[in-house]
Amino acid sequence: MDDFSVYGSSFAVCLSNLCRVLQRCEERHLVLNWEKCHFMVRDGIVLGHRISEKGIKVDRAKIEVMMSLQPPNSVKGIRSFLGHAGFYRRFIKDFSKITRPLTMLLCKEVKFDFDSACWRPFTRSRELW
């Protein structure tokens, strides 16, 4: 097991839930890496998403990585970009429509040509975060 989150509607409830989880870990002989543990935080990054009482948001560090990517120059590059961008597709309205020209380059019978029709969705999908 890599990660788990314990939460509650108040500090006292959260502390009670945490005690129960830690007790269960001890009963089941699960060893925790205490250097990686974070307790009683109001927000944090879980599986690449920033979670807080305000909701779920995109991790800013991931956005900076996406913004620094160079335009793909191969099918492998398109696959990589769409994979990274697709991780956050829930935050981009009409993601599949926007990236359709890029997705079309993945078809076997299509010659790879990263033209202006592909440049627009590439830059637009990065701007929408």
Residue 36 token pair: 């990686």
pLDDT of residue 100: 94
pLDDT of residue 129: 62
Host domain of residue 98: 61-127
Enter the pTM of the model. 0.64
pLDDT of residue 8: 85
Is 4 contained in some domain? no
Distance CA 117, CA 15 (A): 53
One domain, residues 51 and 67:
no
Residue 16 main-chain phi, psi, to 5 deg: -60, -45
* Structure confidence by residue, pLDDT tens digits, 48-84: 788 888 888 888 888 888 888 888 999 999 999 898 8
> Has residue 105 got a pLDDT over 90?
yes
Distance CA 128, CA 106 (A): 23
> Has residue 7 got a pLDDT over 90?
no
One domain, residues 36 and 88:
no
One domain, residues 77 and 99:
yes
pLDDT of residue 1: 63
One domain, residues 32 and 75:
no
- Determine how β-strand 55-58 pairs with β-strand 44-46: unpaired
Q: Which of 58, 75, 92 is the last residue of a domain?
A: 58
Residue 50 token pair: 């920033």
